[in-house]
């Protein structure tokens, strides 16, 4: 176990250049993944989680483009931008080329599990063949060896009669089984980092539980690191070691999972936790977060969450918070982007009139960034 | 096992359709006005002669009896005798059908061989100059009347430049003695191809254009699918993705279109044969209708229908071969 | 079963709304932005104007020229008038009637180039080709639209019934249309016309009927998917009659692909009917239809190849126009939203 993190993301920025404007989908996020760690990436739909993971794999498609930041994996620069002579950011020569990404990183070092197992498998090819092909590409083995590994892997993920199932087609599997196949694919290539992009969202809750147990077992056995993307805090609590909470393209809180739940610092995270219905408590009414996440084309000024924050003050509309470490004595690093913890006059400022501070049940109000 | 069972069920399904074709043919032909008797005997037949002819051809029976008689005949492969040509219908069809099939096969092959690569390249190089050019060509291809293309080709390549002959189609297995200027079988084959080119382009252009458009849009759609993204995420090269992962899936709508195009292709064959004065089934059927040659009309329509049904079955089976979801119904 | 996921108010918004009917304004903006669709509209507009001119000449002037007062003024039906350039009785080579387009020469008479009086040349009976094209435009567009209209209305009816009621009705109708499909299109229509009449009206009707399966199939598949939608079930539960459900919910939601198909079908039908005319099963002489003009031109390909070229180009322009608009509509109405 070395001290260097396996994956280090620094100030990653990805934008989409559309007709309506530039979408700042990922606007400067930084986090780390250490060996053997499961790191959660949490947020609502639209927060930019999938774009972030696509960026790490360098699989962002037109009209999207990675425009800044550095991503280092085992010392190699997956993304590296430097400042050119004209002040503009451009790709540094150290950044891996697309060919290098393809041959060295994708599948071999970093693998990805997609959200929708229905769509992720090619319907016209046998499942075993698809598995074998990926194994062949990413590990130095012959075709026959790859087939053996594939069958073994299918067995590992709990698919009964793996030799027979090897010759089956995707539509002959149920959803949960298909997701197991995708997990098998990822593990079979023996990467050191697996990105799981909402792997259980499309599944039944019971199946979800099985998959999570499976992943935990496998992770213990192989020691692979994970980035687990989800919007489900329950899953986060169960499986992750550290958590990054994303909102509108930014990471607004980062902590070990227990610290996040018991020593929440950011109002957004607080609100998320509050909104979860709990089976051990009955409440008069549920407390959803008011409003809808604004679009990333024109994010709100200052702190991006101020339009829905129950603790917003006037200063929150003006100053953009910096991401700082506010860990208490016994915690490991706990970072937050909130003016409450900065010296910019939050305490003195007046409370802000937002949808959240307004009466309850504000209705479906879409907050745009042009508040005057 | 799934595929075999599917094949058999498909073949069985064809039977009612064929029956339907026979029935419709019969009814339609019956609706054509005109008295076959006066055609055969001239404008003022004597009552006796007329009655004799009617009895001979069974024209005096009620509809359903005639229908059943016809059905029985068809099953025994007796399609009657052509009034106009005075030979058995089957003989006439046997003479003409291979030519039309030769033409159809050739034009479909031409269309597929050009359209598939063109469509793929167009999709791969979306929105570049190559793509735009091929889209324009495809657009014009589906908008131009095929017979006009034939006329233009004849004017330019036959009359003006003299490269290709303007009439007739020769089957490659005809014996050399029947063709002037041919001494060996190879000569015949060469001549055959020579005569084949202009009609093929004439008939095949429309198909080629339609297939290109579908191939392009289908490829574009497939390239955006999750499983392609997955393959990329696992380090598969773009070439392999195109060639293997995307290709098979993209062909499915094309196969469906080929099946649908059959009926218009048969119509196009009629036009092409007219332009190039080819003695095929197309012209035969038109002549038959014009001459109110009932037996011949029924026979040729039936055969056309059969060809179509076989074509549809072939496309369905091809589809099932490519897409395992069709034949393998089981799921856990 | 409590699901521990983050909830926002968006989740509380209530049951999903039915698939919104794509707004006309939105569609028009999309089409307006698409240069090729605009080009198509321009072409169609151009051809429509041409058709109108043809109509004015062919119908209005024809009518007026019956009256001496107008005839004296010079009002006459232009396209029909046989402006014979040379008397064929004294000039045996009636190829001289076939004038070449302006600036070009007939290879048999190199000293007599075409003139502006007949800018596209004349046909085998001395009639001006340009004028006949004008008249033919009206025929082509009318015939294309009417036959498509027939197919669309009847096909929608058949498809809606088949899709909505399902069961044996569906099977019967679908098998029926499949068998109809098995007989080559052209043959079917020719047989139809031989039975009923070899003129343009029956061509339109015949082609229209033969095209019904295309629309029926389209509507049927739309109906099948719309039928499962919640709001249809809700309507049925509320007691709304089947017929009203079809009219008010099913058909409007299926309209978009039908419109696209109809636009494209007009182009296709124009081609088909040109083919029929080419074979002699369309407008009867002396009425000019493009296909028929092409048929006539076959015998004169050497003296005046241009006779074969112009009608084909006219067909091409018109059909390209409809195809461009149809494609543009299809792209505009595509519900898939790009990121």
C17 touches chain A (CB under 8 A): no
DSSP string, C269-288: HHHHHHHHHHTT-SSPTTS-
Burial class (CB in 10 A: 0-12, 13-18, 19+), A222: middle
* For B230, nearest residue in chain A (alpha carbons): A120
Closest CB from A277, A293, A362 relative to C2? A277
Least confident range from A90-99, A139-148, A150-159, C146-155: namely A90-99
Contact B325 A169 (CB under 8 A): yes
Please report whether residue A317 resides in a domain.
yes
pLDDT band at B33 (very low <50, low <70, confident <90, very high): low
**Residue C84 has what pLDDT?**
47
CA–centroid distance for C294 within its chain: 19
Which candidate, C334, C332, C319, C338, places its Cα nearest to that of C40? C319
Residues C203, C185: Cα–Cα separation, whole Å: 12
- Nearest to A68, CA basis, from A109, A30, A111, A102: A30
Quick check: A362 pLDDT over 60? Answer: no
Q: In this complex, is the C-beta atom of A319 within 8 Å of any C-beta atom belonging to chain B? A: no
The Cα C160–Cα C166 span in angstroms is 10
Residue A252 φ/ψ, nearest 5 degrees: -100, -15
Q: Which of A352-356, B119-123, C51-55, C175-179 has the highest mean pLDDT?
A: B119-123
Tell me, yes or no, whether A367 lies in a domain: yes
User: Percentage of chain A with pLDDT > 70?
Assistant: 92
In B, minimum Cα distance to C319 occurs at B143
Instruction: Give the closest residue to A171 by CA, choosing from B328, B77, C141, C107.
Output: B328
Q: Which chains touch B (3 or more CB pairs under 8 A)?
A: A, C
Closest listed residue to residue B83, CA positions, set B310, B330, B289, B332: B289
Between strands A225-230 and A193-197, the pairing is: parallel
Query: Does the distance separating the beta carbons of B332 and A174 come in below 8 Å?
Result: yes
* A274 in contact with C, Cβ within 8 Å: no
User: Any CB–CB contact under 8 A between B220 and chain C?
Assistant: no
- Tell me whether residue A149 is in a domain: no
Q: pLDDT, tens digit, for every residue of A302-329?
A: 888 888 888 888 888 888 888 888 777 6
**Sign of the alpha-carbon torsion through A283, A284, A290, A292:** positive
State whether A107 and B225 contact (CB < 8 Å): no
User: Is A276 touching C (CB cutoff 8 A)?
Assistant: yes
Residue to test with chain A: of B220, B225, B230, most A Cβ within 10 A: B230
pLDDT digits (tens, 9 = 90+) for C106-129: 666 666 666 666 777 777 777 778
- Distance between CA atoms of C267 and A179, rounded to whole angstroms? 47
Name the domain count of chain A.
1
Nearest to B143 among C183, C184, C316 (CB): C316
Is the bond preceding C286 in cis, omega lying within 30 degrees of 0? yes
SS3 A251: strand
Is residue B209 pLDDT above 90, yes or no?
Answer: yes
B263 CB neighbours in chain C (<8 A) are 181-185
Using 50, 70 and 90 to split pLDDT, how confident is the model at C150? very high
Residue A362 structural domain: 283-371
Per CB-CB distance under 8 Å, the chain A contacts of C13 are 364
The answer to whether C183 contacts B24, with C-beta atoms less than 8 Å apart, is yes
Record: contact B20-C194, CB cut-off 8 A? no
Residues C274-312 have pLDDT tens digits of 999 998 888 777 778 888 888 888 877 777 788 888 899
The verdict on residue A130 lying in a domain is no
* DSSP result, B243-268: IIIIHHHHHHHHHHHHHHHHHHHHHH
Contact C339 A16 (CB under 8 A): yes
Pick C23 or C86 by higher pLDDT. C23
C278 at interface of B, judged by CB pairs closer than 8 A: yes
Contact list, B20 vs chain C (CB under 8 Å):
175-176, 178-179, 182
CA distance B160 to chain C (A): 9
Inter-chain CB pairs, B–C, below 8 Å: 133
Q: pLDDT band at residue C2, thresholds of 50, 70 and 90?
A: very low
Q: What mean pLDDT do residues B18-40 have? A: 67
Note whether residue A338 is domain-resident.
yes
Nearest to A179 by CA among A224, A106, A116, A227: A116
Average pLDDT, chain C: 75
Phi, psi of C123 (to 5 degrees): -90, -170
Provide the token pair at A327: 């860990």
Contact C5 A16 (CB under 8 A): no
Verify whether the Cβ–Cβ distance C308 to B309 is below 8 Å.
no
pLDDT of residue C87: 47
Measured between beta carbons, which residues in chain B are less than 8 angstroms from residue A112?
230, 233
Residue A288, pLDDT above cutoff 80:
no
Nearest by CB: C1 against A16, A205, A293: A205
Which of B143, B155, B312 is opposite residue C323, by nearest beta carbon? B143
Interacting residues of C72 by C-beta distance below 8 A, sequence separation 6+: none
Give the separation between CA A187 and CA A223, rounded to whole angstroms.
11
**Nearest residue on chain C to A205, judged by CA atoms?**
C3
Measured distance CA(A187)–CA(A110) in Å, rounded:
10
Which token pair is C170?
A: 């569906």
Higher pLDDT: A88 or C151? It is C151
Map residue A89 onto helix, strand or coil: strand
CB contact under 8 A, B328 and A172: yes
Alpha-carbon span C137 to C116, nearest angstrom:
21
From CA C267, how far away is CA C324, in angstroms rounded?
10
Query: Could you tell me the sign of the dihedral formed by the alpha carbons of C92, C97, C98, C99, in that order?
Result: positive
Lowest-confidence pick of A331-345, B263-277, C96-110: C96-110
- Whether residue A129 is contained in a domain is answered as no
Q: Is the pLDDT of residue C21 over 60?
A: no
Question: Pick the residue with more confidence: C331 or C109?
Answer: C331
Q: Which of A85-89, A300-304, C92-96, C152-156 has the lowest mean pLDDT?
A: C92-96
Confidence of residue A222 (pLDDT cuts 50, 70, 90): confident
Tell me the CA distances in angstroms from A78 to A35, B111, C209, one per residue in order.
17, 45, 62
Q: Distance (Å) from the C-alpha of residue C12 to the closest C-alpha of chain A?
A: 9
| Strand, helix or coil for residue B299 | helix
Set of chain A residues whose Cβ sits within 8 Å of the Cβ of B222: none
Cα–Cα distance, C102 to C277 (Å, whole number): 27
CA triple A20-A26-A29, angle to 5 deg: 160
Decide if A82 is inside a domain: no
Enumerate the residues of chain B whose CB falls inside 8 A of the CB of residue A133.
236
**List of chain C residues whose C-beta atoms are within 8 Å of the C-beta of residue A279:** 2
Best mutation target among A120, A124, A229 (most B Cβ atoms within 10 Å) is A124
Q: Among B117, B139, B135, which residue's Cα sits nearest to residue B126?
A: B135
A124 touching B (Cβ < 8 Å): yes
Per-residue DSSP letters for A103-141? IIIBTTTEEEE-S-HHHHS-TTS-HHHHHHHHHHHHSS-
**A275 and chain C in contact, CB less than 8 A:** yes
Name the average pLDDT for chain A.
Answer: 83
B155/C contact by beta carbon, under 8 A: yes
C-alpha distance from residue C281 to each of C186, C203, C285 (Å): 10, 7, 11
Distance CA A90, CA B113 (A): 44
Give dist(CA A308, CA A105) in Å, integer. Answer: 39
The model's pLDDT over A110-156, given as tens digits with 9 standing for 90+, comes to: 999 888 888 889 988 999 999 999 998 888 888 899 999 999 888 88
> Would the CB atoms of A292 and C339 count as touching at under 8 Å?
no
Question: Is B142–C323 a contact, with Cβ atoms under 8 angstroms apart?
Answer: yes
Distance from CA of C35 to the nearest CA of A (A): 16
Backbone angles phi, psi at A106, to 5 degrees: -65, 120
Q: Quick one: CA torsion of C195, C198, C204, C206, rounded to 10 degrees?
A: 20
Query: How far B247 CA sits from the closest chain C CA (Å)?
Result: 22
Chain A residues 54-113 with CB within 8 Å of chain B: 57, 59, 102-103, 105-108, 111-112
Residue A138 lies in a domain: no
Judge contact between C5 and A233, C-beta under 8 A: yes
Average pLDDT over residues A281-308: 79
Q: Do A173 and B332 make contact, defined as CB atoms within 8 angstroms?
A: yes
């Amino acid at each position: 176990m070395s001290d260097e993190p396996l994956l280090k993301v620094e100030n990653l920025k990805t934008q989409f250049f559309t007709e309506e404007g530039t979408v700042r989908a990922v606007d400067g996020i930084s986090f780390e993944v250490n060996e053997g760690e499961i790191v959660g990436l949490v947020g609502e739909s639209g927060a930019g989680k999938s774009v972030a993971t696509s960026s790490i794999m360098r699989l962002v498609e037109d009209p999207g483009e990675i425009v800044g930041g550095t991503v280092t994996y085992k010392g190699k620069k997956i993304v590296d931008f430097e400042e050119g002579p004209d002040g503009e950011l451009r790709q540094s020569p150290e950044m891996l080329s697309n060919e290098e990404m393809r041959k060295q990183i994708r599948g071999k070092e970093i693998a990805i599990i997609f959200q929708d197992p229905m769509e992720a498998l090619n319907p016209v090819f046998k499942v075993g063949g698809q598995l074998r092909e990926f194994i062949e590409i990413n590990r130095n083995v012959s075709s026959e060896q790859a087939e053996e590994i594939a069958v073994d892997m299918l067995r590992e993920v709990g698919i009964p009669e793996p030799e027979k199932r090897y010759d089956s087609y995707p539509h002959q599997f149920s959803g949960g089984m298909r997701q197991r196949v995708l997990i098998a694919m990822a593990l079979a290539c023996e990467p050191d980092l697996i990105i799981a992009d909402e792997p259980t969202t499309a599944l039944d809750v019971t199946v979800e539980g099985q998959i999570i147990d499976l992943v935990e077992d496998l992770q213990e056995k192989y020691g692979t690191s994970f980035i687990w993307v989800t919007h489900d805090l329950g899953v986060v609590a169960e499986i992750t070691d550290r958590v990054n909470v994303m909102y509108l393209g930014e990471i607004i809180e980062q902590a070990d999972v227990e610290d996040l739940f018991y020593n929440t610092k950011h109002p957004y995270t607080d609100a998320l936790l509050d909104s979860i219905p709990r089976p051990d408590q009955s409440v008069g009414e549920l407390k959803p977060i008011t409003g809808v996440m604004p679009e990333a084309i024109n994010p709100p000024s200052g702190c991006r969450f101020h339009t829905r924050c129950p603790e917003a003050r006037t200063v929150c509309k003006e100053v953009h918070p910096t991401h700082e470490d506010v860990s208490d004595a016994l915690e490991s690093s706990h970072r937050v982007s909130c003016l409450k913890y900065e010296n910019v006059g939050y305490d003195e400022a007046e409370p802000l009139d937002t949808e959240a501070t307004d009466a309850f049940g504000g209705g479906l109000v879409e907050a745009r960034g042009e508040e005057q | 096992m799934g595929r075999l069972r599917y094949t058999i069920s498909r073949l069985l399904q064809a039977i009612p359709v064929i029956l339907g074709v026979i029935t419709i043919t019969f009814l339609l032909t019956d609706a054509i006005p005109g008295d076959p008797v006066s055609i055969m005997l001239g404008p003022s037949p004597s009552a006796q002669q007329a009655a004799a002819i009617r009895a001979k051809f069974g024209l005096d029976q009620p509809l359903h009896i005639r229908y059943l008689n016809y059905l029985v005949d068809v099953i025994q492969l007796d399609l009657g005798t052509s009034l106009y040509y005075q030979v058995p219908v089957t003989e006439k069809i046997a003479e003409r059908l291979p030519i039309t099939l030769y033409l159809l096969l050739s034009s479909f092959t031409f269309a597929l061989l050009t359209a598939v690569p063109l469509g793929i390249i167009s999709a791969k190089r979306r929105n570049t100059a190559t793509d735009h050019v091929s889209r324009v060509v495809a657009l014009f291809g589906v908008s131009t009347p095929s017979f006009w293309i034939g006329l233009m080709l004849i004017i330019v390549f036959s009359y003006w430049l003299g490269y290709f002959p303007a009439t007739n189609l020769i089957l490659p297995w005809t014996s050399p003695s029947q063709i002037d200027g041919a001494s060996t079988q190879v000569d015949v084959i060469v001549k055959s191809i020579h005569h084949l080119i202009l009609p093929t382009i004439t008939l095949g252009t429309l198909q080629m254009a339609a297939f290109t458009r579908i191939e392009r849009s289908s490829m574009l759609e497939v390239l955006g699918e999750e499983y392609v993204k997955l393959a990329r995420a696992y380090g598969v090269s773009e070439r392999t993705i195109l060639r293997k992962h995307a290709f098979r899936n993209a062909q499915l709508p094309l196969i469906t279109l080929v099946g649908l195009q059959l009926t218009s292709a048969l119509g196009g064959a009629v036009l092409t044969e007219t332009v190039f004065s080819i003695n095929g089934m197309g012209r035969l059927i038109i002549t038959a209708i014009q001459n109110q040659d009932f037996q011949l009309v029924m026979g040729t329509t039936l055969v056309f229908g059969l060809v179509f049904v076989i074509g549809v079955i072939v496309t369905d089976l091809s589809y099932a071969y490519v897409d395992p979801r069709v034949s393998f119904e089981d799921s856990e | 079963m409590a699901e521990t996921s983050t909830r926002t108010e968006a989740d509380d918004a209530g049951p999903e709304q039915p698939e919104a009917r794509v707004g006309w304004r939105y569609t028009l903006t999309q089409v307006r932005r698409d240069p090729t669709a605009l080009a198509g509209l321009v072409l169609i507009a151009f051809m429509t104007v041409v058709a109108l001119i043809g109509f004015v000449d062919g119908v209005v002037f024809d009518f007026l020229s019956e009256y001496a007062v107008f005839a004296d003024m010079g009002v006459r039906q232009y396209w029909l008038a046989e402006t014979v350039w040379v008397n064929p009785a004294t000039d045996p080579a009636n190829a001289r009637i076939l004038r070449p387009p302006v600036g070009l020469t007939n290879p048999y008479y190199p000293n007599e180039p075409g003139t502006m009086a007949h800018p596209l040349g004349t046909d085998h009976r001395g009639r001006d080709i340009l004028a006949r094209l004008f008249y033919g435009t009206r025929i082509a567009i009318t015939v294309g639209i009417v036959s498509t209209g027939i197919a669309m209305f009847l096909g929608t009816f058949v498809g809606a019934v088949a899709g909505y009621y399902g069961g044996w009705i569906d099977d019967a109708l679908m098998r029926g249309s499949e068998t109809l499909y098995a007989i080559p299109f052209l043959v079917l229509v020719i047989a139809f016309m031989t039975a009923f009449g070899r003129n343009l009206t029956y061509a339109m009707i015949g082609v229209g009927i033969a095209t019904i399966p295309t629309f029926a199939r389209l509507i049927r598949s739309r109906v099948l998917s719309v039928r499962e939608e919640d709001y249809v079930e809700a309507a049925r539960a509320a007691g709304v009659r089947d017929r009203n459900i079809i009219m008010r919910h099913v058909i409007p939601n299926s309209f978009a692909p039908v419109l696209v198909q109809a636009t494209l079908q007009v182009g296709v039908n124009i081609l088909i009917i040109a083919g029929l005319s080419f074979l002699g099963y369309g407008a009867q002489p002396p009425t000019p239809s493009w296909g028929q003009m092409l048929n006539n031109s076959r015998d004169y390909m050497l003296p005046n190849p241009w006779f074969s070229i112009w009608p084909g180009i006219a067909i091409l322009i018109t059909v390209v126009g409809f195809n461009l608009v149809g494609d543009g509509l299809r792209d505009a109405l595509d519900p898939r939203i790009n990121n």
